Amino acid sequence: MKPGARRQRPPSRPSRPAGPPAELLIESLGGEGDGMAAGPAFVPFTLPGERVSAAGSGERRELVEVLEPSPQRIAPVCPHFGTCGGCALQHWAHEPYLAWKVERLAGTLARQQIETEILAPFAAGPGTRRRVALHARRGSREAARLGYKARKSWDLVDIAVCPISDPAIQAAIPALKRLAAPLFEHPKSAPTLHVTLTPAGLDVDISGVERKSGGLSADARVQLAERAAAADFARVTLDGEVAYQARLPQVRLGQGVVALPPGAFLQATPQAEAALSAFVAEAAAGATRIADLFCGVGTFTFRLAEIAQVYAADVAPTSIRALSGALAAAPGLHGVTAEARDLVRRPVLAAELKKTDVAVFDPPRAGAVEQTAELARSSVARIIGVSCNPATFARDARTLLDAGFALDRVLPVDQFLWSPHIELVGVFSR
């Protein structure tokens, strides 16, 4: 250890693996955010350039002590960091952390022989997440244990705070624990509370309650509603079925005000949604007819309809109904045709895109193999791809490039703060 260097203890962690600790030099970071030494040996909560003591053998080790810390190391902001499996990189200063994410994105594209302009990334800050999934486990009659799964474990970390989440969600944690307490009538119940912050208040969709035994009893449902009312939640649903509603959760998307179906997908932070939507709308400027594929409840649809006529498609009928229901009251739109359609089993065909000059696609993590193949065969002049998975984006982008498109530019989007995940939106042209 260098003279004067300050040793640092690791955050709380699972029980230490067997075997004497070994001294390792961390050379880089792996894809999941763990430090990587020669071997390779992966050590969580370490940074490039650090000399550490790590226990265990083989590829997976556990940090014992940071012997020579990196100058980029900072103090984590969350007391649950290191135990909770939700964040992996709170110990890294923001600028090198964000640069690492962008480098990983560039590397993922390069593996498909893709080079393009990568723009300065958008990065969401702490306290901005409006959508979280909290696991519940049996506690007392008054309050369940509630939080995230522990790192590399099925155990639950019962949280008191969550610095990534909007302050309104953090403030509601005690009330959410009380809400979850009546959900454990059946021993197989393992509820998850999908919490979304809306202007009307918190919208909570609960999954994982055992249904084969008949679901919740009438008494438990009464308790659930009473506790939701006491907390002034907007709505509580059980697998989409309304158990309590004081106000209809709605969100504004461009000129549209959309009534959210239970459990509907929204971008994790409103700031990232605004950045993505502005980028997509700018890239679609000048279009005469637009296809918005995997449209959800209309994250991009309403903004695109201010530019041109839009055909919008998504697999979820509830999302399409919500989007359609908001159209009549949305001013200044060029017209939207919305269809519930499984774009994996029944992609929009190249022939159907004959009059479309701009297409937007925002698929789930698996990407859009089938739909991208049709886009590649179409006469669409410009394509805008939004993705939460750089690997599947790169695979689909390769299909478009092989068909004669160019990837003009990419905007990295970091809305899953302190995780290894990075999202992006890219613009293709003929």
User: Domain for residue 103, yes or no?
Assistant: yes
- For residue 257, being part of any structural domain is answered with no
Q: Of the residues 193, 223, 250, which one is the last residue of a structural domain?
A: 250
Let me know if 388 is a catalytic residue.
yes
CA 26/CA 402 separation, integer angstroms: 39
Q: Which residue has the higher pLDDT, 17 or 134?
A: 134
Domain range spanning residue 183? 131-250
Does the structure show a pLDDT above 50 at 108? yes
Residue 93 counted as domain residue: no
| One domain, residues 41 and 108 | no
| Distances, alpha carbon 411 to alpha carbons 115, 187, 278, 313, 423, in Å | 13, 46, 11, 24, 9
Same domain membership, residue 329 and residue 391 = yes
Give the pLDDT confidence score for residue 303 in this predicted structure.
98
109 and 165 in one domain?
Answer: no
116 lies in the same domain as 136: no
CATH of residue 377's domain is 3.40.50.150
Distances (CA, A) of 110 to 103, 384, 396, 397: 10, 19, 13, 11
pLDDT tens digits, residue range 352-404? Answer: 999 999 999 999 999 999 999 999 999 999 999 999 999 999 999 999 999 99
* 299-346 residue pLDDT tens: 999 999 999 999 999 999 999 999 999 999 999 999 999 999 999 999
Residues 408 and 336 in one domain: yes
Asked, for residue 81, whether it belongs to a domain, the answer is: no
Distances (CA, A) of 183 to 191, 252, 416: 7, 32, 29
List 87, 162, 295, 388, catalytic entry: 388
Same-domain status, 107 and 144? no
298 and 421: one domain? Answer: yes
422 and 280: one domain? yes
Structural domain contains residue 92: no
Q: Tokens representing 240? A: 């989409």
The answer to whether 197 and 131 have CB atoms below 8 angstroms apart is yes
Strand pairing partners for 430?
Answer: none
Does 258 map to a domain? no
Please say if the pLDDT value at position 8 is more than 70: no
Tell me: the pLDDT tens digits for 195-250?
999 999 999 999 999 887 778 999 999 999 999 999 999 999 999 999 999 999 99
Say which CATH number the domain at 13 has: 2.40.50.140
Q: What is the mean pLDDT of the chain?
A: 94
Residues 219, 286 share a domain: no
84 assigned to some structural domain: no
Domain count, the chain: 3
2 shares its domain with 63: yes
> Residues 21, 144: one domain?
no
| Same-domain pairing of 204 and 327 | no
**137, burial (CB in 10 Å: exposed 0-12, middle 13-18, buried 19+):** middle
Q: Pick the closest to residue 401 from 118, 108, 112 (CA basis).
A: 112
| Residue 63 in tokens | 């940090």
pTM over 0.75: yes
**pLDDT over 90 for what percent of the chain?**
90
Give, for 400, the enclosing helix (H) or strand (E).
helix 390-402
CATH code of 140's domain: 2.40.50.1070
**Residue 85 within any structural domain of the chain:** no
